[in-house]
Homo-oligomer: A and B are copies of this chain.
Amino acid sequence: MTEGDHDDGIDKPRARRALAYHEAWTSHDLDKAMSYIADDIACEAPAGRLQGAAAYREFMGPFVQMLTGSKLIAAFGDLQTALVMYDTETTLVKSAPGAECVTVSDGRITYSRFVFDRAPFDAARKNGG
């Protein structure tokens, strides 16, 4: 995906903001990632609803710590929304793909819908991983 490619659906300011956030956390820069997150973010995650940046950071922190690799599968956005899918490699699970649909307002992510499979993490933890 290149800067000049206008067919990738991601050449909108809000989508680029979501991608910058993605690049920050997949580079283990949680502080930079959090700079894209609104103080009052609402996040619907597999385990339930998270409210506020502190709760969001508590959710992302342990995941970023066990992250050993990531690969963007697809990213699109329009004026309201950005949608990304990626694969991650973690110390617990070798392939843990996820998808996020975010709303960006005033340059920050105010709402996020997170989808990933908890089953392999649950299984790895059960096996003492």
Hey, which bits of chain A sit against chain B, CB under 8 A? 7-9, 44, 46, 73-74, 76-79, 81, 83, 85, 97-99, 101, 113, 115-120, 122
From B78, B85, B119, A83 is in contact (CB under 8 Å) with B85
6 cross-chain CB contacts under 8 A:
A9-B77, A44-B97, A85-B115, A99-B99, A115-B116, A117-B117
Contact call A115/B97, Cβ cutoff below 8 A = yes
Residues of chain B within 8 A of A44, CB atoms compared: 97
Most buried by B among A44, A76, A77: A76
Contact call B115/A118, Cβ cutoff below 8 A = no
With contacts A83-B83, A85-B83 known, is A74 near B46, CB below 8 A?
Answer: no
Q: What separation, in Å, do the CA atoms of A115 and B101 have in the docked complex?
A: 13
Contact call A98/B115, Cβ cutoff below 8 A = yes
Contact call B119/A118, Cβ cutoff below 8 A = yes
Residues of chain B within 8 A of A97, CB atoms compared: 44, 113, 115
Contact call A78/B79, Cβ cutoff below 8 A = no
Q: Report the minimum CB–CB distance from A19 to chain B (whole Å).
A: 13
From B77, B115, B122, A99 is in contact (CB under 8 Å) with B115
Residues of chain B within 8 A of A118, CB atoms compared: 117-119
Q: Report the minimum CB–CB distance from A111 to chain B (whole Å).
A: 11
